[in-house]
Structure 1
Amino acid sequence: MTPEKFDGEGFFAALDAERQSRKLTWKKVAEQAGVPASSLTRISQGRRPDVDTLAALCQWSGLDADNFTRTGSSRDVEASPLAQITVHLRADPNLSKDGVQALEAIIKAAYEQFRKS
């Protein structure tokens, strides 16, 4: 499988459309998203955002980062059940970080125990 490529140009275009729909300056976008304005400048110049900046901008805009990744294959890839469980556990506001880690360890151990060979 070909490694995934991030469509930075597409991401920036979608981000700009969201900025325009909210009638904001890039400075305001940076403030509201909690990212440095220089990061937005770099993205506009075709450089990839770091993961924290990407996450903050996706959260601010409502964009899904998955829409801006592509592979050389047309086959859709789905995350493993363990990865999906981890995402859900970490998104649960009712669990502490230690609680999430404990549950992950329990579930992974049980999964390995009962997984078909």
Structure 2
Amino acid sequence: MKISSISGVVYPVRELDKAIEFYQTLGFRLGKRDDHQVTVYVNWFWLTLTTDHDHVPAEGGPSLYLKVDDIDDYYGAVLAHGLTPSTEPRKDRSGRREFLLLDPDGNRLVFFTK
């Protein structure tokens, strides 16, 4: 089991334009945007700000995205270690494959591969 990199975080926001202004003021570079979300960058690290409640847990809070080389192998290794992911590997709206695993405190870890 090996994680390639910590790639980014998804934060739920109430007002997208206000959030964009805040993060740009801090020096984040503006990336791809649609009606419900925007991705901002510092170097290679990305932060997606979203008002799309389908991508935000009911209790709110961030999701940490962790890149792996092979999503199916990593999923199998997680299962072999006795852990229980919340989802099976599936395609997200951007086309990458991912699965969700909650840590013992309910924090969201999203493992993905492109």
Q: TM-score, normalised by structure 1?
A: 0.31
User: Higher relative contact order at CA 8 Å, sep ≥6: structure 1 or structure 2?
Assistant: 1
Higher strand residue share: 2
Larger Rg: 1
Q: TM-score, normalised by structure 2?
A: 0.31
Higher helix residue share: 1
